[in-house]
Chains A and B, each alone.
Chain A
Amino acid sequence: MVFLNLALMVRARGPDEFWRKRRIFKLAAHYRSRTRNVYSFAIRSVHRALAYATKGRKLKKLDMAQLWTTRVEAGCQQYGMGLETFKDGLARSDILLNKKMLSDLAIWEPRSFEALVNISRERAAVEGLPDIKRRSAFNQVYGLRNLKLD
């Protein structure tokens, strides 16, 4: 196609039909049935797939965060502790491990995780978080102001 004037240039649809379609067909090569072979079907499913892939990259991050939360919660429940109290207790003791690390520790380093749970529980008991039934040993014996963690 020769672009003799501006009007034609605007109407031109880009590369040759074969190459334009081949780009789509290459992406649709592994699809099933007519979405693989029929252009009008193929382009529809390719567009949908690309849009899903774009959205999925964000969803993956959210899904992973949810998964880590679930794992950490399960890890706490082994020791009879709620997730919120656990996180609160850690934050109040200035331990700033994130959810990913806590879930990794819960799976691969159970003894370290148990230590973290103990630290958090003791801190929660000392500060009197509502979820902890047991009174802190420190509170009962020595009083709050004698607790020196630093």
Chain B
Amino acid sequence: MSFLAQTMRQVLRQVPSRTAALAGGMRSLSISPAFLQQNKPATESVDISAISKDQQKECSNICERINQQVAKSEQGRLFAVVHLCGKQFKITPGDIILVEGYWPPTIGDEISLDKVLLAGARDFTLVGRPILEPGLVSVKATVVEKTLTHTKTHFRKKRRKQYMRINFQRSPNTMIRINSIELARPVDGNSEAEVEPSKRLF
């Protein structure tokens, strides 16, 4: 490897203008993925404070418009993508969602779903990275029904091998009614969790 580097250096000394071409040639031999090898443009010296101010202005402008719309309650019905029991559900007020498998809450429990990955309305969408900050969107839900699934027959058979097994299984199901999805406080650009995070995250 050192031998190769030495040769490279010699070649480069002779033809300084072909650096890029040679580097390109070496790149094709490399096993590391292409996106790691791209020539990133050099960072130019720009006034960072001006940019950030510009971005801040744009950001606050958008937040302002969202807040205005919410204040006039013109946003319409909100939808949200929540993470619940290892699955993601796209929900809107009035929906019933089905949680499969064992899940402790019982009938009549009012719960709030805190892992909101995405919330949106007609004119805006809030995207969480990966979840929205706690307390921004409040999703309230009620446990409506707890039942068992229909009987599933688990049947295995091997031909000509005298092997046959049959089992029956039913697993618990929970139905949850989504009561409301609301923006709890005005949207602002800075992501500070003012509300103390709840102890349970559903």
A residues contacting B by CB (< 8 A) are 47, 50-51, 53-54, 57, 93-98, 100-101, 104-105, 108-109, 111-112, 115-116, 119, 127-130, 135, 139-146, 148-150
Contacts and interface: CB of A to CB of B under 8 A. Distances in A.
A54 B155 contact: yes
B127 A95 contact: yes
Contacts, number: 88
A44 to B, nearest CB: 10
Nearest to B128: A95
Interface of B: 33-35, 38, 40-44, 46, 48, 51-52, 55, 79, 81, 88, 90, 117-118, 120, 125, 127-130, 152-157, 164, 166, 191
Given A139-B41, A143-B43, A109 B35 contact: no
A144 B43 CA distance: 7
Contacts of B43: 142-146
Chain A interface, >50% SS class: helix
A19 B43 CA distance: 83
Q: Which 6 A-B pairs have the closest CB atoms?
A: A143-B43, A50-B155, A96-B130, A94-B129, A128-B38, A112-B125
A143 B45 CA distance: 9
B202 to A, nearest CB: 17
B155 A115 contact: no
B123 to A, nearest CB: 8
Contacts of B118: 97, 101, 105, 112
Given A54-B153, A139-B41, A145-B43, A119 B127 contact: yes
B90 A104 contact: yes
Nearest to B90: A104
Contact of A50 (B51, B127, B153): B153
A40 to B, nearest CB: 15
Given A104-B90, A109-B120, A128-B40, A57 B155 contact: no
B55 A148 contact: yes
Given A47-B157, A50-B155, A98 B88 contact: yes
B52 A148 contact: yes
Contacts of B55: 148
Nearest to A111: B125
Q: Considering residues A139, A141, A146, A150, which has the most beta carbons from chain B within 10 angstroms of its beta carbon?
A: A146
A95 B129 CA distance: 5
A130 B35 CA distance: 5
18 contacts: A47-B157, A50-B153, A50-B155, A51-B156, A54-B153, A94-B130, A95-B128, A97-B81, A101-B88, A108-B90, A115-B127, A128-B38, A129-B35, A130-B35, A135-B41, A143-B44, A143-B46, A144-B40
